[in-house]
Amino acid sequence: MAYGITLHLVLTIHWFTEMVNGTKDIEYREMSPHWKRLIWDRREKITHARFSRAYSKTTILREVVKIDIGPCPYDSWPGDYYRIHMEPFKA
């Protein structure tokens, strides 16, 4: 049986809280060589994302539904991003 990859990402306290509150189900990452290697090149194998609250031991695990490229809805973030779509969070 093949196992998927869990992507480990650090979030600021604000964005982590948004995820826990159920108001954020898509994570955006810059289209850089670093994120291309960690996200885009492995998108077919990534099944989960583990998010850390800042650099603490507090984490949540989310199931990844799909990874694509597209715009971010925040005005101050122009251009396209890697978008990690997740199942709704269940506390």
**Number of structural domains the chain divides into:** 1
How far apart are the C-alpha atoms of 21 and 18, rounded to whole Å? 5
Average pLDDT, stretch 23-40? 97
Overall average pLDDT of the 53-79 stretch: 94
Do the domain assignments include residue 40?
A: yes
- We report the CATH number of the domain holding residue 72 as 2.30.130
Provide the mean pLDDT of the chain.
93
Q: What is the pLDDT of residue 2?
A: 56
Residue 82: C-alpha distances to residues 2, 27, 72, 90 (Å): 25, 8, 9, 24
Residue 42 lies in a domain: yes
| Alpha carbon distance 39, 16 (integer Å) | 19
Domain annotation covers residue 49: yes
For the full predicted model, state whether its pTM sits above 0.95: no
Residues 15, 43, 45: CA angle, nearest 5 degrees: 110
For residue 79, give its domain range. 5-86
Does 91 map to a domain?
no
